Amino acid sequence: MEAIVKARKEANKVRKIVRNQDTAAEERRLAAEERKVALEERKWPGSFCDTKKGCCFPDTGKPATDFGIHGLWPNYAKCKTRGELDGALEMVTKRKKKCWPENCNSERLKLWEIKDLVTELDANWPTLACKGGKSIEFWTHEWEKHGTCSNLDQHGYFATALGFKARHNLTGILADAGIVPSDSETYFLSSIRDAIKEGTGFTANLECNRGVAGETQLFQVYQCIDSAGENLIDCPLPMQGNCKDRVQLPAF
Between the alpha carbon of residue 61 and those of residues 10, 48, 123, 127, the distances in Å are 47, 16, 10, 10
- List the catalytic residue out of 26, 40, 70, 207: 70
Query: Which is it for the CA torsion 38, 26, 32, 76, positive or negative?
Result: negative
Q: What is the pLDDT along the chain (252 residues), one digit of tens a residue?
A: 566 556 566 655 545 544 544 555 555 544 444 556 799 999 999 999 999 999 999 999 999 999 999 999 998 877 777 666 554 444 344 456 778 899 999 999 999 999 999 999 999 999 999 987 899 999 999 999 999 999 999 999 999 999 999 999 999 999 999 999 999 999 999 999 999 999 999 999 999 999 999 999 999 999 999 988 899 999 976 676 899 999 999 999
Could you say which of 27, 40, 102, 142 is catalytic? Answer: 142
Among residues 146, 168, 207, 215, the one annotated as catalytic is 146
Indicate whether this model's pTM tops 0.85. no
What is the rounded distance in angstroms from the CA atom of residue 97 to the CA atom of residue 2? 42
Domains of the chain: 2-247 (3.90.730.10)
The residues facing 38 across adjacent strands are 74, 225
Could you tell me the end-to-end alpha-carbon distance of the chain, in angstroms, rounded to an integer?
A: 62
pLDDT, residue 128, reads: 97
Q: Is 226 within 8 Å of 233 (Cβ atoms)?
A: yes
Decide if 168 is catalytic.
Answer: no
- Say if CB 114 and CB 142 are below 8 A apart: no
